[in-house]
Amino acid sequence: MRADPPIAYGELKQSRSLLVLGHKFFGGQVEQWLGDDSSPDFAMRAQVLTNVITRALQIVVIDLRADENSQEIFETLNARGTPLTAADLIKNFVFQRLAAERVDTEKAYVEDWPFESSFWEKEIGVGRYFISRSSLFLNQWLMSRVGEETSPRQTFARFKYFVEHEAGMTMAQLLPVLKRQALLYERWTNRAADPHADLSVVELSVYRQQASEIELMKPILVWLHEPEENYGDAVIERVVRAVESWVFRRALLRLPTADLGRVVADLIKTHRATPQAELAGRVEAYLSRLNVASTYWPGDAEIERALATEPAYRRFKRGRLRVFLEAAEDHLRGYSDSSGLSGGRIARAGYPVEHIMPQKWETYWLVDDLAAEVNRREHVHRLGNLTLLTKSLNSSISNGPWLGEGGKRAKLREHDVFLLNRKIEDVSADGWDEDLIDRRTSDLIGALLATWPVPEGHVGEVKDAPAESLASVSLKQLIAAGHLAPGTTLRSRPGNWGDHEAVVLENGALSLAGQVFSSPSAAGHHLRKGATNGWYFWLLPDGRRLTDLREAYRNGG
C-alpha cells in the first residue's frame, strides 16, 4: 500500500498474496474504466470514481471491549452473509491466537502461513460439492491428528476444539508443523501431476487417488509423515500398499465408500501408539479383520469372478479405468506392486482407452447367428477388450477389419510402445475373438491382483453378505439359448388396462399394437402408463410368467 505508482507488482515481496492480487485487479479495472486521459469524458469519469470511493464506499469498524471475543463476533457476522471457507475461518482463528501469544503476526504470516498460493485456492470435488484445496487439506490434516471422521462443514469447529483442548502446544509451535506437512502435501500433488516423473510409492498413490476421484487415503499419508513420528520409508510404503489395495480392490468391485472414511479415522486412532516395527503388520491385520459388506477387503476369487464378465468400459469412469490399465502395463514391465523399480513406468499422460474389437463391429466383424451376436455384445466392453494407445485411432480404422495391411492390428503395431499391445499382437495373427478377450481379461485381472495384493491366506469373508445379485437377462438371450421362440405371443396379466397381446420379434423386441418396444417392461409401461416390471406383467401361452422362463435360464434349465 505504500508503494509509489506505477506499481511493479512482480517485484513486491508478497507478490502472490491475495491483498497484492486484489490491489492489482482493482487498479487494472480503474485504468480500464477511466480510459485515455485525453478522451473528453476522462475528467467526468474520474470525478464519478472519486465520489464513489470517498462517499459511497462504506467501511464498518467494530470497537470491542477487552472482555469481548473478536473471533465469536467474526463467526457470527460470517454466518449472516456468504459463508467463508473453513480455511478462511481457521486463518482468522490462528492469527488471533498468535496475537494473544504476543507473536509477531506479520512475520508469522510471511514465514509460516502456507495457503496463499493458487494451488491452495483450487476447488476440489468431494462427493456432491466442491471445496477449496486448503479447506480439504485442513480437514484431512485434522483427521490425521485426532483420528475422527469430520465433515468438511465441521472442519473449523473441530480444529478450534483441537487447538484449545487437545493439541498440547501453542499456536506458535503448531503452525510450523502444519506448514511443513502442507508443503509436503503440495509436493506430492505437484509430483503426481507430472506424467513423466519417477514417483515414490506415496506420490504414485496420490496420482491414483486423484485420477480415480478418491480422497480417502490422504489422512493416512499425512499421519505417516508427521514430523514427530519419524516412520521409516519401508514402514510407510508397506502401510500405503496395504491401504491402497483395500481401497482399490473395493473400487474394482464398485463397492460403496460411505463407511470407509470412518475406517480410515479409526485405523489412525487405533495405531497411533503402535511401535514402528509392528505398525505395517498390524495395519494389514486390522484391514483383514473387516468383515461387513460396507468395509471389507475383497479377496482374489471374488474379483476374478466379478471382473471376468463385467462390462468394464460402461461401468468405470475413464480416469479410473485408465488407472487400471496403467497398473497392468506397469505389471508387465516388472512392477508387481506399488514399490516398483526405479524408472520405466508408463507415462501417466491421459492416454485414450481403445476397444480392440470395436464397439461398432457389425460391418467387418460378422457373426453366424443370434447366439454369437449376443455373445459378442457381452464381450465388447469387457476388460480384456480394452487397451491404451498413445493417441486415438480415427473412427474408420477403429471400426475397421482386424487383419490386412490397413487393418486395426497393423495400426496397433504403429502405436506399439506398450507391452499391453505387444501381447495382443503376439496372439492375434489369426484374428481377435471372444476367446482371446476372455484369456486377456484373465491376464489383466491377474496383473491388477498383483498390483494390489492381500496378505497370504486372506479371502475377504463377509458376515452380512446379501444374496448374490443375478445378472440381467434379455429376451434376446432367451431366444439365442432356445428358451423362447421368435413369434411367440405373450398376453398381459389381467387388469383394468384390458387384454393385450405382444409378439416376440427375432431381435428380442416386442411388437404391441403396431409399435415396437425394446423390452417387456417398456411394453408394459406403455399399457399401464406407469413403471412396470414386464417380466411379471407378460404371460407365456402356457400361463407361466416371463420371469419363470428367466429363472429357468439362469438355473441352466
Find the range with the poorest average confidence among 218-222, 238-242, 462-466, 500-504: 462-466
d(CA 439, CA 430): 15
Residue 294 has pLDDT above 50, yes or no: yes
Instruction: Take residue 155 and report the three cell numbers written for it.
Output: 472442519
d(CA 41, CA 48): 11
Rounded to two decimals, the pTM is: 0.75
Distance CA 541, CA 465 (A): 38
Predicted local confidence at residue 81, as pLDDT: 58
481 exposed, middle or buried (CB, 10 Å; 0-12, 13-18, 19+)? middle
- Percent of the chain at pLDDT > 70 equals 92
The answer to whether residue 80 sits within a structural domain is no
* Among 274, 301, 328, residue at a domain's last position: 301
**Is the same domain home to 111 and 246?**
yes
Do 335 and 219 share a domain, yes or no?
A: no
Both 212 and 92 in one domain: the answer is yes
* Most confident of the following: 42-46, 76-80, 132-136: 132-136
The whole domain housing 36 covers: 9-56
In a domain, 254, yes or no: yes
Range scoring the smallest mean pLDDT among 70-79, 173-182, 345-354, 487-496: 70-79
Residue 181 lies in a domain: yes
How many domains does the chain fold into?
4
Spell 408-437 as b/e; 16+ CB within 10 A means b. bbebbeebeebbbbebbeeebeeebbbebb
Domain membership flag for residue 326: yes
Give the DSSP per-residue string, 134-201: HHHHHHHHHHHHH-----GGGHHHHHHHIIIII--S-HHHHHHHHHHHHHHHHHHHHHHT-TTS---H
Question: Is there a single domain that holds both residue 316 and residue 253?
Answer: no
Q: Kind and range of the H or E element at 244?
A: helix 233-252
Nine cell digits for residue 524: 408394459
Q: Are residues 282 and 316 in the same domain?
A: no
SS3 content of the chain, % helix, strand, coil (to 5): 55, 5, 40
Residue identified by cell 438355473 is 555
Indicate whether 467 belongs to any domain: no
For residues 95 and 227, give the distance between their C-alpha atoms in angstroms, rounded to a whole number: 23
Q: Are residues 237 and 206 in the same domain?
A: yes
- Note whether 506 and 418 are same-domain residues: no
Asked if 110 and 250 sit in the same domain, the reply is: yes
Q: Are residues 434 and 479 in the same domain?
A: no
pLDDT band at 405 (very low <50, low <70, confident <90, very high): confident
The pLDDT of residue 460: 93
Q: Say if 461 falls within a structural domain.
A: no
Q: Average pLDDT of 278-295? A: 95
* pLDDT, averaged across the chain: 88
